Amino acid sequence: MSASRLKVAYQGERGSYSHKAVHEFLGAGVSPVAHGTFSAVFESVIGSKADYALVPIENTLGGSIHDNYDLMLRNDLHIVGEYNLRVSHCLLALPGVSKETVKVVLSHPQALAQCTDYLKAHGYEPRVAYDTAGSAKLISEASKRERAKGGGAEGAGQQGPGGPGGQELKWDETAAIASDLAAAEYGLQVLERGIQDFSDNFTRFILLSREPLRPPAKIFAPPSLSVSTMDAAGGRKCEVSLKTSIVLLVSHQAGALFKTLAALALRDLSLTKIESRPVPAPLLHSIGLHRKSTEGSDGSSPGPARQISLGGDSQCPPGSGSGTPFTYMFPMDVLADAGDPNFQCALSNLREISPLVRVLGTFAFHEDSSSAPGSAAASEAGGPTSVGVEATRVMLRLRHPGVYTGGDGGTSGAATPLPGSPTGKGGGGKGTVSSEAASQVVVVGKKGNPLRVGIVGFGNFGKFLAEKFVSLGARVWSTSRSAKGNREAAIRLGCVDFFPEMNIRRLIEEAKVNVLVLCMSIMSFEQSVKQMMEDKGILQALETGKILVTEVLSVKEWPKKVLMKLLPSSTPIVCTHPMFGPESGRHGWGGLPFVFEVVRRPVGETAGDRNGAFGGSGDLCRHFLELFSSAGCRMIEMSAELHDAYAGRSQFVTHLTGRVLDRQRLTPTPIDTKGFQSLLHLVDNTVSDSFDLFFGLFHFNECAPAQLALFKEAFAEIATDIRKSAKRLRMAERKRDARPIEDGTPGDGVKTLKEAMEHDFSETTKAVVESGTVKVHALTKKLAAEGRQVISMAVGEPDFLPPPQVMEATKRAVDGGDVRYVASSGTLELRKEVAKYLKEKKGVEYVPDEIVVSNGAKQCVYQAVLALCGEGEEVVIPTPCWTSYPDIVKMSGATPVFLETPLSDGFTLRAAALRECLLSHPKAKCLILCNPSNPTGAVIPPEELRAIAAVLSEEAFEDLYVIADEIYEALCYDIPHLSFASIPGMRERTVTINGFSKGFAMTGFRLGYAAADLPVAKQMGKLQGQITSCASSIAQAAGVSALRDVPEKWLEDRRLEMQAKRERLLQGLKGAKGIETYKPAGAFYLLPDVGALLGKYTGGEKKRLISTSAEFCEALLEEEGVALVPGEAFQAPGTIRISYATSTEIIDACAQKLTAFAFRFCS
């Protein structure tokens, strides 16, 4: 949210009564945000687009606004305040218009109905508009349009809303019924105020928040309030009355409503509201879906077994036990604090007799004579101020110090600062509260408990414990690394003081605590304890054995070991796990499980001194544990080891299941079962915790990894069972449909049975598509075999033979019997030569063990992806890309993420685009960098590669690996090649792929290699040992010769030949109609754009519509006998790939035929 003002959402136009309520209730210190519907208001708060919402809930004339009750039941928002707005209707018109000239009055139907007598008395014609403020806006804007046209306000305006017979309005004869705020908003004059027929017209608004907020128990009243209680300093101290809103369902059983009311009446709990209404069926389903809201509000723990039973015959619809299909809901307002034990008992009683109880919130009661019906004070501009209203404002100022300073914008007074504030004696700025004043006025706790507790780590859970400990009479101090907002929170919760910068020494020396409760996160726990023990003062204090150290993590064996290892042997230790949190324990801890193990007792105490469950009368452990037992917790004494064994099978599996389901984005449906509702409830409860907490449940519990493995095995077993059942079903169907064999000739039925038996392929195989280049090459060979003359520029294979030195080495290897198995990762001789080449030519050093020699570079890519990536991870692939990359990624279980590089930028990957892609794909594990590129021939400039490395060096991306496919590095023409691993900081994160097929024309040798940091190289070698074992020993001998014996001139001559062929192809396509080319800087590919020709018809006798580049290549092959690869194979539709690694004759012929083919296209 904004750091300057709180955002408060409301429904209606600016100037509406809801807008006015925001203005009066919260003042000028907030930013009102208008929305068209109540649903949008709720969504804005739930989605954190607004801090709060202010919505009407009932009106003295119109009754309850049931839509908003329904929305509260469907959404997890809490009532934290209320405000009674006097509705004073005003007659508004354009400046200069008088009451006597008005003929037509616009407004919302309800406002028109509330002013019926007034309209009749003046002879005004009512016309319906969509909103009160909207009618004022309509008049204002229509008048402005008329003036802009030069017609003035006197001319006939546009068609009036709801006008009988389609009559037009004259704006100088038209008025609106709306608030005086609407007049100010839209530049209108107020002709008359208070024109409603009944003066007792009030609307009660409720303030909604994403989290429950507790108003102070007492405030010092502003001067505008009339109060009698005076403190010693002459201040005006006021008790704050609290109200709690609940909604419950009542079973159709005799006396059910009487029992419900008796649960409140017998405890002297007063009702300020009760009504009955039938619940719409969709809402009833929604109530079941949002179990979290029910659990979090009333403290119950619903689960699959807790089903809503409304009584009566189970064969009838819900609620039909009395013969009616209706279910009734009872909204109630009770003058009580939801946390009060008396009210908690009432809630427990209500849950026994009611199928569903929902607490909507506890808030300060707006009770003041100025807001009573008929009060003149309430009608004055600026709105009434009551103790309840001011308490809500104080609560917001404490909650948002420095952000909300409201209460003065439209109110008649603001709360006086409490004495002792930092701004001066007895006074100061708004919202400033001293610890002394807060403890005296805001929080009232029990006395007599000697425990002095230090909370270390003041996050949500630390605050949750602090508030409860204070209410149980403990003296509480707190400390945390961050001071932002924590001091104010500590004071609000009743802590004696807060120490910033995790100052545990001040807790010990100044606060003299005898219990340290470690509430830091699970991820920082060990490091925090180590840092704590580096302080000699803390160490000496803990050595006395007079300070109990306890922790509250969700795993137990690991923190137990940490504390026993790092703390002095004399320090008493208790490991605890409160198995509840701020949501489930919000309204009491009664019956909630609390697991603990007394690891070490204080000096002098032994197990024989036990008094009850917790130890001797002087036992620090006992007194600390009594904080939980006295709050009604179900105390479970259990060893840390047994706790983790149970938690691995229960808590971790629960959180794991919830997060798995959350990734499926499950949402409620109209036909949900109770089981599905329970799953949604599970998702809500688990994903609300941080992922760090979930990771801690896994990483720090030795039992959790086994459970994760069992979870994955169970998924695989179920998937296998499903596939087997599907296969059996297919076979049964095909057997049923099979026809018998007649005259010894197999019929269709026999063929069908054979298909059923054979076609049972794996899901991995089904996900992989045939290589686009291989498919075109195969089709070309087939046509050639049929006698067709085909010119192929489809396959990336040099047209020249390998160097003679390579051919001779190959022969020597065969003649010398060098045809045996060698080391799986390659011969040592070849790996040494590769390491030497990379050091001397590419500027990056590797040892032979960091080189893996494979059957071609493609195998290296596959093994690199398989070693580094897995299920749930992503691999970024710049496109256009080599056709095999996406399917290699899929075979590893990972997901390819495509990052488009445009032709207009030479198909060059840019660092800025990569960074944006990685930010939107946090699951990315690898980047495949093909440089020079197949299929574009693009070469990434060295400066851009360094910029890419800079992006990958950012903290957010420091775990990302790069698979640098540099197989074409010997064929660069205009831009020098830079090996990515040679950039500082990139070697350890880069797998460099290279080989002998392109630069040395050794395609048939199938020889490639990968260079990687040793741990990665070992994993790749291990995989290769299980896939193909070693590459051909003959090919490896040839590879040694290629690197050792082939002169540089041979490679340079081949590079210049390819460069000349590139120029020849570009010149040949220079005049090709509709074909956009560019100048590739490397490799031997061109990827022209033929998008201008798509959507057109080919020429000649067989005209056909060409919609894709695949259809373009198919027609080109059929009509011209030229084989090219369509761009779809490279994730680049609308393009075609041309490989110019062929003879100049073929290049010329291809260019001519392609140009002629494109020329024949017509629109």
Burial class (CB in 10 A: 0-12, 13-18, 19+), 484: exposed
Residue boundaries of the structural domains of the chain: 91-188, 242-310+321-363, 445-639, 652-702, 772-799+1052-1159
Which is the CATH superfamily of the domain at 772-799+1052-1159?
Aspartate Aminotransferase, domain 1 (3.90.1150.10)
State the burial class of residue 566 (Cβ atoms within 10 Å of its Cβ: 0-12, 13-18, 19+). middle
3-state helix, strand, coil in the chain (%, to 5): 40, 20, 40
The answer to whether residue 2 scores a pLDDT higher than 50 is: no
Most confident of 175-179, 199-203, 408-412, 698-702: 175-179
For residues 1100 and 939, the model is more confident at 939
Tell me which of 293 and 923 has the higher pLDDT.
923
User: Which pLDDT does position 132 carry in this prediction?
Assistant: 92
- C-alpha separations of 280 from 63, 129, 357, 808, 917 in Å: 18, 29, 17, 87, 46
Q: Which CATH class is domain 91-188?
A: alpha beta
Across the chain, mean pLDDT equals 83
**981-1002 pLDDT, tens digit each:** 999 999 999 999 999 999 999 9
Residue 509: pLDDT over 50? yes
The pLDDT, as a whole number, for residue 1091 is 94
Beta strands 328-334; 242-249: pairing state: antiparallel
| 3-class secondary-structure state, position 107 | strand
Of the listed ranges 95-99, 408-412, 592-596, 634-638, the one predicted with least confidence: 408-412
Lowest-pLDDT choice from 163-177, 533-547, 933-947, 1141-1155:
163-177
Confidence of residue 766 (pLDDT cuts 50, 70, 90): confident
pLDDT higher than 50, residue 439? no
Q: How confident is the model at residue 288 (pLDDT cuts 50, 70, 90)?
A: low
Overall average pLDDT of the 277-299 stretch? 54
In this structure, of 376-380, 804-808, 1055-1059, the range with the lowest mean pLDDT score is 376-380
Indicate the helix (H) or strand (E) that contains 386: none
Segment 212-245, tens digit of pLDDT: 887 877 776 555 555 444 443 344 567 888 999 9
**Quick one: which of 798, 824, 822, 848 has its CA closest to 1034?**
822
Q: Answer with the residue of higher pLDDT: 325 or 442.
A: 325
Q: Tell me, what's the pLDDT at 981? A: 97
Among 184-198, 396-410, 668-682, the minimum mean pLDDT is found in 396-410
Question: Tell me, what's the pLDDT at 19?
Answer: 95
The span from the CA of 931 to the CA of 938, in Å, is 7
Q: Is the pLDDT of residue 207 over 90?
A: yes
In this structure, which topology does domain 445-639 adopt according to CATH?
Rossmann fold (3.40.50)
Strand order across the beta sheet in which 515-518 lies: 497-499, 475-479, 452-456, 515-518, 548-551, 573-578, 593-600, 634-637
pLDDT digit string (tens) for 248-282?
888 777 888 888 898 898 888 999 999 988 887 77
pLDDT band for 1060, please (50, 70, 90 cuts). Answer: very high
Cα–Cα distances (Å) from 493 to 199, 585, 634, 1024, in that order, read 42, 16, 25, 62
**pLDDT of 1113 higher than 80:** yes
pLDDT band with cut points at 50, 70 and 90 for residue 116: very high
Give residue 200's pLDDT.
84
In degrees, to the nearest 5, what angle opens at C-alpha 782 toward C-alphas 779 and 785?
A: 155
Q: What is the pLDDT of residue 285?
A: 63
User: 157-171, 318-332, 363-377, 1070-1084: which has the highest mean pLDDT?
Assistant: 1070-1084
**DSSP character at residue 60:** T
For range 942-959, the mean pLDDT? 96
Q: Average pLDDT for residues 749-757, to the nearest whole number? A: 48
Q: Yes or no: say if 56 and 33 are a contact pair by the CB < 8 Å rule.
A: no
Who has greater pLDDT, 655 or 384?
Answer: 655
Residue 227, helix vs strand vs coil? coil
Lowest mean pLDDT among 157-161, 277-281, 360-364: 157-161
Give the pLDDT score at 1032.
96
Confidence (pLDDT) at 610:
37
pLDDT of residue 370: 42
Of the chain, the percentage scoring pLDDT greater than 70 comes to 83
pLDDT band, residue 412 (cuts 50/70/90): very low
Residue range 668-697, pLDDT digits in tens: 998 988 889 889 988 888 887 778 878 877
Q: What is the average pLDDT across 109-134? A: 92
pLDDT at 1052 (0 to 100): 96
Phi/psi for 612 (5° steps) reads 70, -135
Comparison of pLDDT for 1060 and 1102, the residue scoring more: 1060
Question: Do the Cβ atoms of 574 and 598 come closer than 8 Å?
Answer: yes
Alpha carbons 660 and 666: distance in angstroms, whole number: 10
Q: Give yes or no on whether 445-639 and 772-799+1052-1159 have one common fold.
A: no
**The two structure tokens encoding residue 789:** 């003359």
Mean pLDDT of the 525-549 span: 94
302 pLDDT band (50/70/90 cuts)?
Answer: very low
Tokens (6 digits) for 298: 């009333």
Closest CA to 284 of 326, 246, 232: 326
Give the residue from 484, 508, 509, 487 showing the smallest Cα distance to 497: 487
Q: Which residue has better confidence, 818 or 697?
A: 818
Determine the pLDDT at residue 437.
30
Least confident stretch, 448-462, 514-528, 558-572, 749-763: 749-763
On whether the 242-310+321-363 domain is CATH 2.40.30.10, my answer is no
pLDDT at site 1038: 97
Token pair, residue 524, equals 């920082």
Other Cβ atoms within 10 Å of 1064 Cβ, number: 15
